[in-house]
Amino acid sequence: MTTTRQKVGQATMIGISGKSLTEGEKKFIVQNNIGGITLFSRNIETPQQLHKLTTEIQALRNQQPDKAPLLIAIDMEGGRVARLKAPFTQWPPLKKIGDLDSASIAFKFAESMGTELQAIGVNLDFAPCVDILTNPQNILIGDRALSTDAEAVGKLASALVRGYIKSGVIACAKHFPGHGNTIIDSHFDLPVEDVSLETLIARELSPFKKTFRARLDMVMTAHILYKNIDAEWPATLSKKILSEILRKECGYRGLVISDDLDMKALRKLYEPGVIAVRALEAGINILLYCNEAETPEMGLDAIDKALADKRISMDAVENNYQLMLKLKKSKVKQIDPLPLPEAARIIGHPDHLALSKAIASGQIPEGMTT
């Protein structure tokens, strides 16, 4: 039987320290029924090593109460945000797709990338960026954005999502409600935006709404304070933004995952336990921890106490738990990586390399249209 803490754990994703699981990490993942792992450059060396790691991660499901596959996530956008190095295909930044303004190329880009991810055992990509680059000084987003035009971002991001879906990889649009106008990097401090609700709805939310209609399963929040919309809480912790704007205004029905809850934008202001509890109160479905080994347990402990104190309802925990299991059952069709020889034939496939090269050089690949 799955305990309440294990239900919270199923709706929690964590990072791991190295290129294989430690005994302590295995124990924590199994005992707390952790729902997913996010991989970073520190976890990846070669396709062979990564294949072994994703197999090792998925094997833990057999010791968990739900026996559900784990989500194995990665940041693979193209350009500077790319955890997988050669021999995996090296994809250009999304701006190159925006320059070509081709939905068919965007679709093929994501489908090809997703096929390589799926082959090696990664089933969730924290992509695409649906941020509009409205501030040219925004170096955090920069060429990660498809365009400076809301309509173009919506059209191309929707095509990217459809491409990931075709490949069998879950897409996660980010960073809701929009990170394109900031200067401060939320990894290090809290950006504060003075955009009005009217402008946000007319501009930033437009491409997100279009992307949601592409059957998007997951959206990631931004650690940004929109002071004219919610003067107290950053978007990740804002019930107004997540419940009223995301759910009601945008009509979004999928899962909401936080950005990394260890980022300085939040941790400079709040303790880990406060962040975890507030995130659930605000409407986050999946708690994401990436880099600090201690904070996931601190978050789980704080939620245990908040449940005991009746600050969080069991209904919210049960809802997140069921949403996570439903997502896995319906969308994770291939649990383990392909056999290594088969995966090796897909990784860095000549067709993918040719597509990447054409996009990077600003050309429409042969046989494709805009």
**Within a domain: 2:** no
**Within a domain: 261:** yes
- CA dist., res. 295 & res. 178, Å (int): 26
**Active-site annotation holds for 51:** no
**Within a domain: 124:** yes
Model confidence at 287: pLDDT above 70: yes
**Within a domain: 145:** yes
Cα distances from 347 to residues 39, 115, 234, 336, 353, in angstroms, run 17, 8, 39, 16, 10
- Averaged pLDDT for residues 209-236: 97
- One of 125, 217, 259, 260 is an active-site residue; which one? 259
pTM (2 d.p.): 0.96
**Active-site annotation holds for 259:** yes
State the CB neighbour count (10 A cutoff) for residue 362.
10
* Rounded (5°) CA angle 38-290-154: 65
Question: What range defines the domain where residue 36 resides?
Answer: 7-360
- pLDDT confidence bin for 363, thresholds 50/70/90: confident
pLDDT at position 230 is 97
Token reading at 218:
């997951």
Tell me the three state secondary structure of residue 288: strand
**Within a domain: 74:** yes
**Within a domain: 1:** no
Which residues 6+ apart lie within 8 Å of 83 measured at CB? 39, 40, 41, 44, 74, 75, 76
Share of the chain above pLDDT 70, in %: 99
Spacing of C-alpha 189 from chain mean position? 20
Counting the structural domains of the chain, the total is 1
- One of 66, 187, 301, 304 is an active-site residue; which one? 187
**Within a domain: 271:** yes
Helix ranges (DSSP H) in the chain: 4-10, 23-31, 47-59, 94-100, 103-120, 150-167, 197-199, 205-212, 239, 264-267, 272-282, 295-308, 314-331, 340-346, 350-360
Lowest mean pLDDT among 155-169, 181-195, 220-234, 273-287: 181-195
- CA dist., res. 350 & res. 156, Å (int): 24
CATH classification at residue 278: 3.20.20.300
**Within a domain: 366:** no
